[in-house]
Amino acid sequence: MAAEGLRVETVLEVPLVAALPDNHPLASNAQVALEDLADDPFVLFSRWQGPGVHDLITGVCREAGYVPNVVMEANTVQGVVGLVAAGIGVTLVLPPRSECSLQGPGVVYKEIAQRDIRVRAGMAWRSEDQTPVLKGFLGVVREASRSYSLRKPVGS
């Protein structure tokens, strides 16, 4: 719900996937249950840089019955995925797209079984603002989000 005087629009909703080292016992499964990661060490994006995603991940782990054992944090998604590829731990991330550098060796991406964990991105602007610049910006963001949504995730 938007505050008075604001318009809010969700432009993107993307489900998270599990990122596992390619030698993980669950790496050959088509899907991974979140509960099956309870004893694994986790690597996460630093909370101060991405509090929404960080809190989403820790929150869904708590709903699954555990507090994730976060052993390392990184300041970039590439850093998190690099730590997974190095075997440091597991994580939940946005699915990489086929043109993305996150699909390197050492890591596999798996759908999360029985849960629909989505990251939502949106924009907000003053309701009374109808400038051409704002209209153009909103159009560019909408088109970029549609384009992103149409791209195939790795493994699809």
pLDDT at 153: 52
CA angle in degrees (0–180, nearest 5) for 97-98-103: 85
In a domain, 50, yes or no: yes
What residues make up the domain containing 65?
14-119
Condensed to tens digits (0 to 9), the pLDDT of residues 23-39 reads 999 999 999 999 999 99
Domains contained in the chain, number: 1
Condensed to tens digits (0 to 9), the pLDDT of residues 123-142 reads 999 988 889 999 999 999 98
Distance, in Å, from the CA atom of 111 to the CA atom of 152, rounded to the nearest integer, reads 14
Three-class secondary structure assignment of the chain = CCCCCEEEEEEEEEECEEEEECCCCCCCCCEEEHHHHCCCEEEEECCCCCHHHHHHHHHHHHHCCCCCEEEEEECCHHHHHHHHHCCCCEEEECCCECCCHHHCCCEEEEEEECCCCEEEEEEEEECCCCCHHHHHHHHHHHHHHHHHHHCCECCC
pLDDT at 1: 62
Residues of the chain with pLDDT under 70: 1-2, 97-104, 149-156
- What the block records as the tokens of 33 is 């249950």
In a domain, 93, yes or no: yes
pLDDT at 103: 59
In a domain, 70, yes or no: yes
- CATH number (domain holding residue 104): 3.40.190.10
In a domain, 147, yes or no: no
In a domain, 145, yes or no: no
In a domain, 131, yes or no: no
